[in-house]
Structure 1
């Protein structure tokens, strides 16, 4: 009985867990509707702009009101980035926006190059507003000025201010015991739906340094850092996929505990590559913090994330085959300047017919030289036996044959030496052939 009860409980738990998983999975896959409106500084809609979501091939186009309206899944573990492009340049993104819950209904400001030129030439001013805070608390009586114009304002008790700005001058915020802050007017326009929050940093303790005595370091050194980004951002694969090479520069702050905060792109390359590089930096492990005069400090740091195409493979080298006959080539090369007898002819490698013909010519030449050698030997033998032949029978006088230079060369080349003539047997003369009678003495007995 207990066995059946345990089995039933296990089955019930499995069904309950499966239902919960299904609900969590459905919740995770639930799509969210996004309404993103793009305007310029004057509030005119930027229609015809293009929005691409990293990792997806779908493109969205803003309507006449500059509105993008679409559905997209929100996943806290993997938040996608929306990249905005002007219709005349789909390769260079002009702004990126993380597609989280805060961006489901938002207005952003993007000015084209024509807009910027027009604003700067006209010197037109526009109203900006903000809130100055430190550690979440508003700062009263902070001074806001537009440098080079004389326009100034101060924050109220809530830290809020309003001032006329333009595109040609920088906005400076100054507060007592705080580090000065400098901002472009674009920042305020991008968040024009509400006052832009400016977080001030107290001098000394919370200061972010740009150069210190000991700069922050990635554990294991920069070699390990590049190995990490190459593996995490898949730099080689993305470069090959997009056929794009270059470097994305990312800046961030290394806190006193080594954590990474405020990562942002300072030099863009391509929307898909920018997103991959930034995502790899966001989840990067803690660094070794910076130190200045022995004190751990916050430090601003920039790193490159390179994207390189894989190197093409070198073609395999074919082995060089040896020639068919080194002997034939050697003979043909050595005999070009001495081939006056026509014994040698140009021979191609592997031409066995010509090689056989050459061998026959060499054999004939060798026989001829051997015959000449015999004649010379016979001449020498006749000189040595002249005295004997004069007594016995006069022999026909053999005139020595004069050898030319080529014969002497080939005799030397083939190592032919004179052979000694065999001694001739004595020929009995006529007087030796007659038998003489020897008288025999008669016996006296």
Structure 2
């Protein structure tokens, strides 16, 4: 019997969830309450499956997303998630066919980009995706950090940090998150559902542990950041505390807020170690410590992958620090971004139009996708042979245009 690829129906959604959990090696149990909780929040038209003999053997879902561009603008994205193929149906091209269906629909809708978080690195480059942001997690050993043992965590700028609760975070958090998106490229929007689930709402198969919340307010009383964190309860010999504080979410929209919140979590009694969760690779935390070596890197990895669908919209939406023009010859096997494009950019704005002029750079859409948020170097890609410099020095000029003072930050897994 041939495998059928299509959107699932409401009656098939429980089987789709079961196949999803199987693909991610979770227990293949789907309670009715879980189905009832999830179903209202998915677009069944964008919930795709491969069906073989009435059984779902591959899953693929997408949803609408906004991604912050360099300079604070926004790009409408086709966010891809929950991609699995059953172990009985691997290497049959099911993912390729589902991806083709989804990207064609995204282009038809007018989405500028597609995004995803890659569980496995080697898979998605062949579909035109490139890693556009990175994340780093640190573990801070407070015994080595050199902090004053008399520290209180109280800000020294006239502001204050107060313990709070999820009700206040749900009230102030969305506004702070939107402000963060105006400051950093790569931030993905959070829906009301995201905020609910992130604070314990919705049905879960795993138990929920309520975190602590703390809010930073400036001297004028304006909330400028918050942190959500949990602590374990571990004690060593001779009744010495060895507790670990794990940051679940930290959003700060001013340097004062960021510094104050990190100093706060590093001052909690009984805490010996702080796990930062996923942060931008240029997060200030290590350098806030008298001894930055106390912050050891637990993980540094690619985070959000991006695939350009509309070159002109993507390049015109972002800002540029210098004035220059480049002709980009973009290769795209699926055709969405293929062609020769002339980018004329300056701090006042940018235009990107088709051209027949000679190329300055020749590159695959996956590599242009790596560059657009400012996290990758065109010079490095040229040294690797991934970009062809048709005009000597063009990669260095591209870096002056595309690189950003702050690296993109994608705090959410989706």
Query: Which of these two proteins has the greater Rg computed from alpha carbons?
Result: 1
Assess same fold via TM > 0.5.
no
Q: Which is strand-richer, 1 or 2?
A: 2
Q: Normalising by structure 1, what TM-score?
A: 0.19
Q: Normalising by structure 2, what TM-score?
A: 0.20
**Which of 1 and 2 has higher RCO (CA within 8 Å, sep 6+)?**
2
